[in-house]
Amino acid sequence: MPGTEASADPEARVVVERPARRRRLGAAGARWPVRRRVAVAVLFPALMAVLVAVAGGATSPPGRVALVGRVALVCATTLATYLPRPGTGLRLDVGCTPCAAVAAISVLIAAGVLSTTPHDVPSAIVALGVAAFGLRQRLTDPSTCAV
């Protein structure tokens, strides 16, 4: 067959390199240090208890409690992004101050939204959106924001 030549070296291997994937979220693609994962594991149950209490207690419909759990997980992840990376000392990883403030305040706003109308599923969805906005703000590398 034309165009199919046998290699002179039978041990020769073809190395196929994959093209580098474009990172959508700057810090999200990087591997998280253990201290941040532990922080999420510690903060999640505490935030879950606080947010369930603020949202009207565990007597809410199961779907709403599940949404509040997701809000707690997203908020715990947002707060864990402030922990310093290994080797950077004890200085918090704040990044750009206005962006860092928005992300931290989103945790409080999500709790406030949950407390406005207890037992209401749409308010839990809005709180999840607010918390997700804060997490996205932190993960899109706020150290390079235009502010």
Report yes or no on whether pTM surpasses 0.75: no
The structure tokens 């706003």 sit at 109
Average pLDDT over the chain, rounded to an integer: 79
Going from N- to C-terminal start, the domains of the chain cover 34-142
Asked if 109 and 130 count as a contact pair (C-beta separation under 8 A), the reply is yes
Token pair belonging to 68: 């509040």
pLDDT in tens, 61-102: 888 889 999 999 999 999 998 888 777 777 777 766 777 788
pLDDT in tens, 21-45: 545 545 444 577 888 899 999 999 9
Q: Phi first, then psi: give them for residue 84, nearest 5 degrees.
A: -70, 150
Q: What is the mean pLDDT of residues 104-109?
A: 92
Task: Find, among 5, 83, 1, 69, the residue nearest to 37 by Cα.
Answer: 83
C-alpha gyration radius of the chain: 22
Asked if 86 and 31 count as a contact pair (C-beta separation under 8 A), the reply is no
Distance CA 25, CA 37 (A): 18
Distance CA 73, CA 114 (A): 14
Which H or E run includes 130? helix 121-139
